[in-house]
Chain A
Amino acid sequence: MAVAAGLVAVALSAAACGDAGSGSGSGSDKPTLTLYNAQHDFVEDMAKDFTAKTGIKVEVRSGDDFELANQIVQEGSASPADVFVTENSPAMSLVDSKGGFARVDDTTLAQIPDSFEPSNKNWVGFAARSTVLAYNSTALKPADLPASLLDLAQPKWKGKIGFAPAGADFQAIVSAVVATSGEAAAEQWLKGLNTNGKKYQGNTAVMKAVNAGEIQAGVIYHYYWYKDRAESGANSKNVELRYFGNADPGAFVSISGAGVVKASKHQEEAQQLVAYLTGKDGQKILADSGAMEYAIADGATNNPALKPIADLDPPAVDPAKLNGPRVVELMQRAGLL
């Protein structure tokens, strides 16, 4: 009986808690924005700074690129989301293709180079990351490394490589392969990868496996390695990075996008947030956050440890053309999903 009474009391207090949590900004008449964040924690730091500067509160719902993108599409006009930020652009294209974004303010677009924006300007890039091959420096010498990402499908890499197929990161890279080499070649390549590779949950796990010698090399983004090196190097001391360059699909630079959700009832404030993310203050927080992703605004300075963004020599890919759902279908066919 006492247990039951206790539970009831706790339940009631919890219900009260829940009410307080979901209540909108008390005291001020400024709305609370809901940010669907598929990016890392640094976006939350940016949001906090935004709140400090504008007094507009931001609630963050975390998820993965396509999870949240599909969610916004499903939610349609009822979406509670005001702003959406992703790690990779295919998820932005998905929302955009369903007419889910409001056009970004011109002043905001002016802060970012055109190459980091889709042609229709319905969303805007605010960060970028480069594809790399992380390899175990004791198992492989630079001379052993493949010249192209596509080479990893060759039988000689069987059992030696790894990647994280369920994540949007890898799927973005696949979409770049599709964009540069065509669907048929991409599918062949995916089948090869399915035979050769081990599948991991996320890039950190891939890097860890490379570091431990479980696999010799893995496809990841650059910043996982820099971040770990900057902290302790515990998961990267045996790992070196190979930048493919040379306009290879393996040199693909993925754009993290930000957009104002069309269903947002706080358009003005949402535009403010996107402007902040791409503006001087936001970009500075990004660059200083230790996230090691590239800040891309005109005039932004990145951590000197990073390979300069100008030296990456990526393939020319229109971000608007990267097709997420088609890539998932291809990967399902190849057995990776």
Chain B
Amino acid sequence: MTLTTAPSTASRPGGGARPSSRRRRRRYPRALLATSTLVTLIALIPLIFVAVYTVGVGWDEALRLLVRPRIGELLWNTTRLALACMALSAVIGTGAAWLVERSDLPGRRIWNVLLVVPLAIPAFVNSFGWVSVTAAVEGYGGALLIVTMSYFPLVYLPVSAALRGLDPALEETANALGNGRWRTFTRVVLPQLRPAMLGGALLVGLHLLAEFGALQMLRFPTFTTAIYDQYRSTFNGPAANMLAGVLVLCCLLLLLGELRLRGQARYARLGAGSPRPAARARLGIVTVPVLLALAALITLALGVPLGSLAHWLITGSSTAFPVDTLLTTTATSVGLAAAAALVTSLLALPVAWLCVRHPGRASTLLERGTYFGNALPGIVVALALVTISIRYTETLYQTVPLLVIGYAILFLPRAMVSLRAAIAQVPPVLDDVAHALGATRTGTLWRVTLPLIARGLGAGAALVFLAAVTELTATLLLSPTGTETLATEFWANSSNIEYGAAAPYAALMVLISAPATYLLTREARNSR
């Protein structure tokens, strides 16, 4: 965001005694507080539901459902997959980031793009690409490989941003103190990358806990797939909801870690825009092996899924393209995702505004409340909304609005992150200046505030759009009768092992995701 980090706003003195900040600490504007509270309550619906439900099931029944071999198996599967994938992603993401940012690797610009592109391929499409070629990827090993290939960019992105923001003077000082390059990396660089690395890894963990499609296809049962199996056998029965309770607990654990990190992450991000680029390490004779390793990585992450997708598109066993269905499902997907992006951004706006412009205990609490979406797998949110809407809000049951609310709960944190950052970069003094120059409240909103947060708003909306286009589980459970999206059609076809028929939907999802992914990565790159 080069626009908004003009030197004039970059360094505000921290003087808490400044009357302008004192003014902001006064009472919360009532309407804003009420709206934000409402938004947070909506975001908390699934969590409250799971808690209330668990209490309602009762101790004995809960024990019967939770203490059995299957749960142990699921716990073991989920844990070993999540931990291994987080570790692998951290190593691959950090290594690749260092190579691109700090070494004389040939073709760095291209690698930089290629290492982010996997984000545009939903994990279940990646999984489809592999499993339709070989059944060997079924089970733990294959699952680990495929989810790692899908999620390592989540570490790569923040770490490379952190590397770019790192003051090279620190490394030079370490060198001057007699540390070699490796020791400098481990003693100076790595500790500073830790927040970015751990933050990325935790994000990988959260994604993994919520992952359904990819793992279901690879026949690797985790909590999320087991909940779906239970759902298929019992609709919203107690077993499914108890499993959801356990899953939510796991997710909350990771979320807590992530929130704690977020507090410490500051120093790593403050050094935005270091004035001069760091000297690059010479790879020398290892250049070729390193290039080969990166090529192998990209082949695994992009080559195989895209190649297999192309193969099925060309040889598709299932006759001609069903153009009509493709068009209508694309329209439905794009429309739903756009509606989700719009609604989610609108919901995020008051909360983000409140927590940036009126910091305080209440606003922090409300803001944290919206983050739980990060820890809630789509299936948990969907189960809660299905049950609640059947019991209490029949008019919403099986409607587009309910589905969009589900998306909003799931993706609110994505919109929040971008919006918060954007609003934080609009100092309130700009409002004062505009008012002094005669601009009215609305005038200020249109001429100053909105233009300044437009990019953040757009980036947040793009993130939500991207997530909603490829969302599967909540869509399966919540969509109105007759509403088919690219993801659900793809899922229906690939579940029937009709790979050729599934391929066009997968390709369309990748195509639609691509621009949003581009926007997202550009934003992630510039915002730190």
Given A15-B335, A18-B335, A70-B235, CB of A7 within 8 Å of CB of B219: no
Given A66-B232, A171-B233, CB of A337 within 8 Å of CB of B390: no
A71 at the interface (CB under 8 A from B): yes
B 23-71 contacts with A by CB, 8 A = 65, 68-70
Interface string of A197-210 (1 = CB under 8 A from B): 00111101100110
Q: Nearest residue in B to A74 (C-beta to C-beta)?
A: B390
- Contact residue among B229, B339, B481, B496 (Cβ-Cβ distance under 8 Å from A337): B229
- Contact residue among B69, B135, B226, B339 (Cβ-Cβ distance under 8 Å from A214): B135
Cα distance, A16 to B482, chains bound together (Å): 16
- Contact residue among A1, A61, A63, A69 (Cβ-Cβ distance under 8 Å from B454): A1
What's the count of A-B pairs with C-beta under 8 Å? Answer: 141
B302 at the interface (CB under 8 A from A): no
Given A66-B233, A78-B397, A208-B497, CB of A17 within 8 Å of CB of B331: yes
B contact residues around A21 at 8 Å (CB): 480, 482-483
Decide if A335 touches B68 in the complex (CB within 8 Å).
yes
B 476-511 contacts with A by CB, 8 A = 480-483, 492, 495-497
A306 at the interface (CB under 8 A from B): no
Given A7-B342, A13-B335, A328-B233, CB of A335 within 8 Å of CB of B481: no
B105 at the interface (CB under 8 A from A): no
Cα distance, A66 to B240, chains bound together (Å): 13
Decide if B335 touches A17 in the complex (CB within 8 Å).
yes
B contact residues around A108 at 8 Å (CB): none
Decide if A7 touches B338 in the complex (CB within 8 Å).
yes
Q: Nearest residue in B to A36 (C-beta to C-beta)?
A: B481
Interface string of A176-218 (1 = CB under 8 A from B): 0000000000000000000000011110110011001010000
Decide if B232 touches A166 in the complex (CB within 8 Å).
yes
A133 at the interface (CB under 8 A from B): no
Decide if A80 touches B398 in the complex (CB within 8 Å).
yes
Cα distance, A199 to B231, chains bound together (Å): 17
Decide if A8 touches B342 in the complex (CB within 8 Å).
yes
- Contact residue among A15, A80, A200, A333 (Cβ-Cβ distance under 8 Å from B68): A333
Cα distance, A214 to B394, chains bound together (Å): 47
Decide if B481 touches A201 in the complex (CB within 8 Å).
no
Q: Nearest residue in A to B399 (C-beta to C-beta)?
A: A22
Q: Nearest residue in B to A61 (C-beta to C-beta)?
A: B481
A283 at the interface (CB under 8 A from B): no
Decide if B394 touches A78 in the complex (CB within 8 Å).
yes
A289 at the interface (CB under 8 A from B): no
Return A329 CB to nearest CB of chain B, in Å: 9
B299 at the interface (CB under 8 A from A): no
Decide if B69 touches A335 in the complex (CB within 8 Å).
yes
Top 6 closest pairs, chain A to chain B, by CB = A14-B335, A70-B235, A61-B481, A11-B338, A10-B338, A166-B229
Besides A201-B216, A337-B70, 20 other A-B contacts (C-beta < 8 A): A3-B462, A4-B454, A4-B457, A8-B342, A11-B338, A11-B342, A14-B331, A14-B336, A15-B400, A62-B492, A66-B235, A74-B236, A74-B387, A78-B394, A168-B233, A171-B233, A212-B135, A332-B68, A335-B70, A336-B70
